[in-house]
Structure 1
Amino acid sequence: MKNLTIRLITCVAVVCSLRAAAQTTPQTPAPIKLFFEKTFIHTDRNIYNEGEDIWLRAYVVNAQDNHLIGTSKNLHIELIAPADTMVYSETLQLTNGLGKGDIPLPARLAPGTYRLRAYTNWMRNFGDNFIFEKSITITGSAAQGKGASIGSNSPKTVAAASQGAQSASGAPIIRFFPEGGSLVNDISAIVGVKAEDASGKGIAVSGPVLSATGDTIARFACDSLGMGLFAIVPVAGQKYHTSLKYKGQAVQAALPDALGSGLSLKVAKRDTLIYITISCNNAASATFAGKPLTLSVKHAGVAYASPQIQLTDNQALVKVPESILPEGITAITLYDDQHKPNCERLFYVSHPNHSAKVAVSTEKQVYRSREKVTVTVKTTGADHKPVQGNFSLAAIDAGVDHSAVDDIMAYMTLGSEVRGKIEHIERYFDTTNVNRARQLDMLLLTQGWRNLIWKRLADTAIKISYLPEQGFTVSGNVKDQNGKKVIAGANITMRNAKATGQKVFVTKTNEAGNYYFDNIPLYGQQRVTLTSRNDKGESNGILQIDSLSKNSLPINKSGLNETTDISANLTAELGKRAVANKKLDSVTNLKEVKIKASRNIVLRDQTAVSSGFPDEVLTVTAADMKFNTLHDYILYASKQAKPIPQPTDYPDQIVFFADGKNYKPRFIVDNKEAFFTDDDDEDVMAHFSNNYLSLPMTAVEKVVIRRMLAGLKPPKIASGAGTNIMGVGVVSNGRIPPPENLFVILLTLKPGAMELNGAGLTGTTLPGYYEARDFYKPLHTSTAINASKPDMRNTIHWEPIIRTDANGQATVTFYNADPKTNIRVVVQGVSGKGDPMSGVKTYSVK
């Protein structure tokens, strides 16, 4: 889909500044070996109805050898609307180059061709060369009842520098691409032709190549995808063009001017050898006579041949065995004696008899509705021996998604290294296609065309600005109460009560008052609290948090200007199925915990019930402003509160005495529960308590102290001895002990009190790694809970994690839905040897 600037892909060391977690200044710069990542996103389908879910699996590989790579831990997934606006984004956690996720499409989403974009932070160092994009067609109620043409509203990105006249708006466009980069006077050249209609689709046209005097020099004919070629020997002083008609419209386009002096490059395959011919014209003979030229033959930036040559009679021939090159695109570049690139040609190397393969099979070809299906996946390497690998499987109703099957092999070896959208990419990998080699050559002559004449090339150095992400970065600054002077050396503590593992992170502000927390593991939407303290433990300053999206990747104009015709019948069928499928339990969701406005309070870990004691209500008045903090005020005004007994590591705590015991309170602030439970560590509880107890009285409106009874807690998995099925402790005689007291402080703060951060406190909700949902897998048995409900699923099964064993095998089982249709099973993945692999199996439901 995107052009790979392969000439830049060399293994060199660059020095990058790495910022470590919980540090105020960057670490000492460390050398990083330059590497390149590619990603491929396997989605269950390409056509969806509004309100459905997109299920996806991510593969991130080393761009040079296609092995899964674990350097980056974050993969950014975005859904971009036809109007080039982002409608959804999430961050997937990568484990050894693998990740999974899903995108819940909103109801009433406008129909159109959307873009699914994926990238790591590291990929951003290289422009858009490694950014993954694919088109997703979405239909819905706005299109129901009529045939819908689902297409992008944005103009197509030009595939290369303009080579040919731009036609009038709405008219076809024809471009010419000389082999190697440029035409040179008096040297025979092959010229690729690309013809497109106004929407960017290839069109079949034919026409003459005319001289300035109107003589026909050559003719060309483009196939159904708009690609063709012809030969020409340009003559000094002549200009060339074409003039033809397409559906009654006049189309004219000019060939690029030929160079008066220069080098040319021709590439052709004969048997098992690649013949590379280098030529110069008489005008350039003196320039290159006796000078060493270098021919670089590279795959994914790795040099497989770099012979030095000299021209004899203005020509040289180099033969390269195809067997020494890996499958995929090879870049052949010609450098002059100053090591400036003069010509480049992309050439596809194919080893059909030595390719890794994945075979997908079912027990039979025809099934019944709701019948159980077992799919067997078998993988073999290029040596035809079983190979292990990581794969994903989608089984879909082929009747509702007639789009071409995505192919990770085609993308990794071809699509990711060629400019623009490749129409019908599958034809280039169909070994039964007798025109495959010629069609591949025309594709690389046009969409793989490069003009590398050094006079027209602006040399640029690689600048590393984006480091591989290992988690999330939270940053900001601290200023004084007036918001003007920065505070250096402030102790910043970040608490994340819901975090798995470490919950507390500490750092100091630097001389500019900035703080950084790097590589923080966050999962889902998580609330974090930050505090600022001086060395005496006193609150200080106003905390600000930087926007996490301030450095997001800009949205470019759509390069996926394609049109998918959705019939009225299909649109109506998708809408009908969407209604039926709402009755099924389509996904597994987590329940939200809410604080109920009643005498009973549902906390995160238990439900506290009324004890019958009246609330102790403390209404703050002007006279109470004499107290420094809420801590001091409650100790004075409450009849139940008392200082925590000493000695203790947390002297600023408050306890409440009842029934001969001291109880630490829980907090509900403005009807929201503070982020800690009785099961948290003491330092976590103390931290959150101090956040509120240290508030100035100017921030507080009302304090209510409610004495309650602790309720039963939710069931615990693997409860140990001494607990009942609810996870509640029991005594040896089996009796449940009486409920404990529970004190809750309900705070009402003044509007904006927390935002003012008068106590060096702030909090925010951070979007962490997206927590992928589980695909709903119905069990169609006579006792199934949904046995009487219609099953009209469009995606019959989605299995994001499949690993073949030492024998190269894996099995997946699922149940068919109700419709009588054809089911297409697609398996994508990467072997342990770095082979991208794809397999398809179709069966019928009757």
Structure 2
Amino acid sequence: MRFLLVFFVLLLSNSVYSQDIQKVLDNMEAYRDRNPQEKLYLHLDKYAYTAGETIWFKAYATIGLHNLFSNHSGIAYVELIDGAKKTVSSMTIPLVMGLGMGDFKLQDTITEGSYRLRAYTNWMRNADEKYFYDRTIQISNGRTDNVMTKTSVRAEGKDNIYTVQLKSLSGLPLAKKQVRYEILSGGGTVERKRGNTDEEGNLLVSLSKKYGEAQLKLRFDNLEMLPVNKLLRMVPPDLANSVQLLPEGGKLLGDKINNIAVKAITPKGMGIKAKVIFTVGRDTAGVVETNTLGMGAGYIFIQPNTPIVARAEFEDGSVVDVAMPEVYTSGYAITVNNQNGSKVFAQLNVSNDLVNQKEVYFVLHHLSEVIFVSKQKVNKDELVFSVDKKMMPTGVLTISILDEGFQPIAERPFFNYNSNTVLPVAVHLNKEHFAARERVKVDMRVGDESDSIRFGAFSASVIDLSKIKDSVSLAPNIMSTLLLNSDLNGYIENPGYYFDLKGVKSRDLDLLMLTQGWRNVDWRELEGDVKPKYDVEKALKISGYTKKLGRTKPEVGAKVQLISTKNYMDFVDTTSNEEGYFEFGNLLFPDSVKFLISARDANKGKNNIDIVIDKEEKPLVGNNRNRGDELADVNAVYIDQINQSKQFFSELEGKGLMEKSIAIEEVVVRASTKKKVAENSSNLNGPGNADQVLTSEELSTCPTLDMCLAGRLMGVTFVGGVPYNTRGNVPMQIVLDGMYLEGDQLSMINVNDIESIEVLRNANYTSIYGVNGGNGLLIITSKTGLSAMRSYVPKGIMTVQPQGLHVNREFYKPVYDVEGGNKLNRDLRTTIHWEPNIVADKSGKASFEFFTADGKGRYVMIIEGLDLSGRILRKLVELDVR
């Protein structure tokens, strides 16, 4: 159908459809088939959270420009990343026909700050991290933190002096408090110091200007004598607003009228209103004013060999000179008019020396999915093309103009909006107004009467607007993510601004296209058959290599067996190949499951084999592209939400629905008495950061390790030689030189080979290990750092615990009109309801219900999802609770 359309258009243009351009189109189609675009979107229950709450989300995976449910990948990865680019929690979720769910329980000890939620599939890694789902959220802490910060900065000589004021949530200053702090820059710690707050709770930190932007990591005790961590971004005071000038199509041509886009930003990367004045000598050549997001564009005539000066005036009164882009005397430039209601017009401007009667090709496409093709001869210095909007789908499309050798000479993205992309929906509530704790029934019907089938999958959250600081209309949503963020790179401020119930803000979207980088096809790869680096993952796998004992040579044809420790009768067999590689694929297992892997050689069935398991390679965490959404002093910004959540948590604790805030036990180690810990300790918190440390000297008189440790470890008992955490009476995880062992293997470790043992029991030390740290850990480091198990060398067998699939928890739903139902004395919920499993039947009908809380005023219901045709649904419904 697509090629019929292309052929039809070319016939209309009276062009000869050459075999050469057909080969290019064939290559583009093959490239698209090899590299389908997969996208991910997470619908969150709300926009900001506090410690003790849960981040609830529904994942939507789509494929291609038309956003059909993706059956490409079977699993997705979701990560919670802190301000220091450290992954504090991660999970693997199954995707069934492009749909998945998950939840992050926020630890009581989580550090307040701006965090990132990043989600991707293994296939999406073939593009770039900047096209992952990546959203900045704010997390405050009123559970174990209870401290607000207020930061300010001034320049003084070669240093910047930062003042950090520490106050309790009630406003009391943390006076005369000792604070340990680190300054982080360039991916590492550049300074470690100590200081004391004054009577007003102020801590002064001096930072050399050579470090520019850095991060300040604080550690101190709050008024309740609980340890508190803070991570603050240190922004220099002398940064100024800036302006970029971006010629449409990338080039300014002399002796032509050129469209120049303007992007004005603050030091934080946020848009700022500005006016840019272009002058030639004493004459004004043009003026461009930006919108409130700092974007604008205007036409100016570029006179050859005549210098142009640009100067920007900002709404805050500051003024800066702006560097002009280079002016070319030879080349091509493109201008696009997308504001016409029925057509898109593009004009190719050509310098006089290139008017050569050769052919150029106009290709409208999305990542090589061709929508329209035409060609003209370069017989004049201005060539005009137009395309009917009715034939174009919604999304970021690219106009590429190719020369006679089919190489791009000018390209320009633009956003097309087709109302057929939006899924119509009618939402009916059982009442016009509601009282507190009243049942709300929601009936939905999606699609049009003309639709033969109206199946779709959706999710809904209901939030109390009085408890939300963030703008629902400006926040990222399913439309902005699937239609914009998945194709643009860089920061998009207030992405929800571009979409509303009436359609899109067409002019502002075009300014965004002029000032933003975009995802495009690599024309050099079209003719090749380059195999993608990352495979499609339908399920989990465990893989590795079998090697001859103590050697690097592979053990070919080894019989390898995977056995679940949950059920020793549940096993899978395979054989290693000529490289010793083996793989157990198509696995589906929940998180925290351990496996035994055994291997025997093919000839004699001996287990004299080394097994090496492939380590899971995670994509690197780069800089936050949404840095403009990061906030300083998050606790202070969200103090109202913290206080409301404290009341709600108190109610849940009284009902036994939530554990009381964790009281952190801390061992204070003084420098003069600090025990020597192995420098090569695998402790993820850092060597010595533990609840208790034992050194080799304290172990020198013991016959076996389990006998030696019994009675010496605080909060640890031994049952059958296995260490148990007295908090919950659960078996602890053993980690030997970074290798995870079963508890019953403890007695097999030679005591004389051990340099140190670190005990991790409390959440401030165990949380970094995720699910592996839930029961506490013993971190054992050998004297060599290689292996302390010299007296016990396991051959042909090992234990592995890969990350399995996340097991979803249930959202708590109080019921007030049923005797014996879940009820709260004070219902102060912020997220009133979370409904991730809404499915419309063939007639488009779906329904759900919930109860209002005690909060009165306006609630908002946010419904999002897709139907089987890829039409996107986003609906906001306000409820009046009186």
Length-normalised TM-score, structure 1: 0.71
Aligned pairs for 1:798-837 (under 5 A) are 798-837=834-873
The 1:807/1:584 distance shift into structure 2, 3 A limit, reads farther
Partner of 1:841: 877
Distance, in Å, in 2 between the alignment partners of 1:13 and 1:294 is: 19
Letter in 1 for 2:296: G
Q: Does 1:11 align with 2:79?
A: no
The 1:756/1:104 distance shift into structure 2, 3 A limit, reads farther
Letter in 2 for 1:279: N
Moved more, 141-150 or 118-127: 141-150
Task: Give deviations 1:310-367, integer Å, cap 9, x for gaps.
Answer: 1332222222111111122221111111211121122222233774223333222322
**Kept in 2: contact 1:181–1:449 (CA 8 A):** no
Partner of 2:716: none
Aligned pairs for 1:477-488 (under 5 A) are 477-482=545-550, 486-488=554-556
Distance, in Å, in 1 between the alignment partners of 2:255 and 2:450 is: 47
Q: Does 1:425 align with 2:495?
A: yes
The 1:363/1:782 distance shift into structure 2, 3 A limit, reads closer
Partner of 1:570: 641
Distance, in Å, in 1 between the alignment partners of 2:49 and 2:59 is: 19
Partner of 1:172: 241
Moved more, 796-805 or 570-579: 570-579
The 1:242/1:579 distance shift into structure 2, 3 A limit, reads farther
The 1:756/1:579 distance shift into structure 2, 3 A limit, reads farther
Q: Does 1:91 align with 2:157?
A: no
Distance, in Å, in 2 between the alignment partners of 1:451 and 1:92 is: 29
Give the SS at the match of 1:180.
helix
Letter in 1 for 2:378: L
Letter in 1 for 2:559: N
Equivalent residue in structure 2 for 1:308, among 370, 375, 378 = 375
Aligned pairs for 1:447-486 (under 5 A) are 447-448=516-517, 463-482=531-550, 486=554
Distance, in Å, in 1 between the alignment partners of 2:31 and 2:243 is: 43
Partner of 1:216: 284
Give the SS at the match of 1:367.
coil
Q: Does 1:265 align with 2:266?
A: no
Aligned pairs for 1:615-654 (under 5 A) are none
Segments of structure 1 that go 5 or more residues without pairing to the other structure are: 1-6, 15-31, 157-166, 589-667, 674-690, 702-749
Partner of 2:395: 328
Q: Tell me how many residue pairs correspond in the alignment.
A: 657
TM-fit CA distance, 1:35: 1.7
Moved more, 252-261 or 346-355: 346-355
Q: Does 1:256 align with 2:274?
A: no
Q: Does 1:240 align with 2:258?
A: no
Equivalent residue in structure 1 for 2:651, among 580, 596, 615 = 580
Partner of 1:60: 61
The 1:557/1:109 distance shift into structure 2, 3 A limit, reads same
**Kept in 2: contact 1:144–1:571 (CA 8 A):** no
Question: Aligned residues: percent identity?
Answer: 25
The 1:209/1:382 distance shift into structure 2, 3 A limit, reads farther
**Kept in 1: contact 2:858–2:879 (CA 8 A):** yes
TM-fit CA distance, 1:791: 2.4
Distance, in Å, in 1 between the alignment partners of 2:590 and 2:342 is: 53
Partner of 2:298: 230
Distance, in Å, in 1 between the alignment partners of 2:501 and 2:277 is: 33
Equivalent residue in structure 2 for 1:344, among 390, 394, 411 = 411
Distance, in Å, in 2 between the alignment partners of 1:484 and 1:300 is: 43
Distance, in Å, in 2 between the alignment partners of 1:669 and 1:535 is: 36
The 1:760/1:34 distance shift into structure 2, 3 A limit, reads same
Equivalent residue in structure 1 for 2:560, among 485, 492, 496 = 492
Partner of 1:440: 509
Distance, in Å, in 1 between the alignment partners of 2:349 and 2:75 is: 48
Distance, in Å, in 2 between the alignment partners of 1:458 and 1:181 is: 23
Task: Give deviations 1:236-282, integer Å, cap 9, x for gaps.
Answer: 22343422344354422212112211112121143412222222122
Distance, in Å, in 1 between the alignment partners of 2:254 and 2:749 is: 82
**Kept in 1: contact 2:130–2:490 (CA 8 A):** no
Q: Does 1:195 align with 2:270?
A: no
The 1:380/1:757 distance shift into structure 2, 3 A limit, reads farther
Partner of 1:181: 250
Distance, in Å, in 2 between the alignment partners of 1:554 and 1:51 is: 28
Segments of structure 2 that go 5 or more residues without pairing to the other structure are: 1-24, 153-163, 165-183, 187-211, 214-235, 660-718, 725-740, 752-781
Equivalent residue in structure 2 for 1:776, among 812, 835, 844 = 812
Structure number with the bigger relative contact order (C-alpha 8 A, sep ≥ 6) is: 1
Partner of 2:123: 122
TM-fit CA distance, 1:139: 1.1
Equivalent residue in structure 2 for 1:398, among 465, 468, 479 = 465
Distance, in Å, in 1 between the alignment partners of 2:837 and 2:826 is: 28
**Kept in 2: contact 1:480–1:540 (CA 8 A):** no
Give the SS at the match of 2:482.
helix
The 1:391/1:153 distance shift into structure 2, 3 A limit, reads farther
Task: Give deviations 1:159-208, integer Å, cap 9, x for gaps.
Answer: xxxxxxxx995211111111122111112111111111011110011131
Give the SS at the match of 2:250.
coil
Q: Does 1:408 align with 2:478?
A: yes
Partner of 1:619: none
Length-normalised TM-score, structure 2: 0.68
Aligned pairs for 1:587-602 (under 5 A) are none
**Kept in 1: contact 2:27–2:527 (CA 8 A):** no
Distance, in Å, in 2 between the alignment partners of 1:415 and 1:584 is: 43
Distance, in Å, in 2 between the alignment partners of 1:250 and 1:265 is: 30
Distance, in Å, in 2 between the alignment partners of 1:451 and 1:802 is: 35
**Kept in 2: contact 1:393–1:825 (CA 8 A):** yes
Partner of 2:40: 39
The 1:817/1:230 distance shift into structure 2, 3 A limit, reads same
Task: Give deviations 1:581-636, integer Å, cap 9, x for gaps.
Answer: 44456699xxxxxxxxxxxxxxxxxxxxxxxxxxxxxxxxxxxxxxxxxxxxxxxx
Distance, in Å, in 2 between the alignment partners of 1:374 and 1:828 is: 18
Q: Does 1:557 align with 2:623?
A: yes
Distance, in Å, in 2 between the alignment partners of 1:9 and 1:396 is: 49
**Kept in 2: contact 1:54–1:102 (CA 8 A):** yes
Moved more, 339-348 or 50-59: 339-348
**Kept in 2: contact 1:50–1:108 (CA 8 A):** yes
Distance, in Å, in 2 between the alignment partners of 1:343 and 1:216 is: 29
The 1:818/1:153 distance shift into structure 2, 3 A limit, reads farther
The 1:432/1:511 distance shift into structure 2, 3 A limit, reads closer
Distance, in Å, in 1 between the alignment partners of 2:241 and 2:647 is: 39
**Kept in 2: contact 1:379–1:386 (CA 8 A):** no
TM-fit CA distance, 1:817: 2.1
Give the SS at the match of 1:237.
coil
Distance, in Å, in 2 between the alignment partners of 1:582 and 1:531 is: 46
**Kept in 1: contact 2:65–2:395 (CA 8 A):** no
Give the SS at the match of 1:784.
coil
Letter in 1 for 2:374: P
Distance, in Å, in 2 between the alignment partners of 1:831 and 1:451 is: 27
TM-fit CA distance, 1:783: 3.1
The 1:788/1:347 distance shift into structure 2, 3 A limit, reads closer
Give the SS at the match of 2:79.
strand
Letter in 1 for 2:394: E
**Kept in 2: contact 1:140–1:575 (CA 8 A):** no
Larger Rg: 1
Distance, in Å, in 2 between the alignment partners of 1:449 and 1:766 is: 36
Task: Give deviations 1:494-535, integer Å, cap 9, x for gaps.
Answer: 1115479x9311122334444322332222211101112234
Task: Give deviations 1:423-478, integer Å, cap 9, x for gaps.
Answer: 23333223658x922212111111257999999x9999855111001222222333
Distance, in Å, in 2 between the alignment partners of 1:671 and 1:579 is: 37
The 1:752/1:530 distance shift into structure 2, 3 A limit, reads farther
Give the SS at the match of 2:486.
helix
The 1:91/1:335 distance shift into structure 2, 3 A limit, reads same
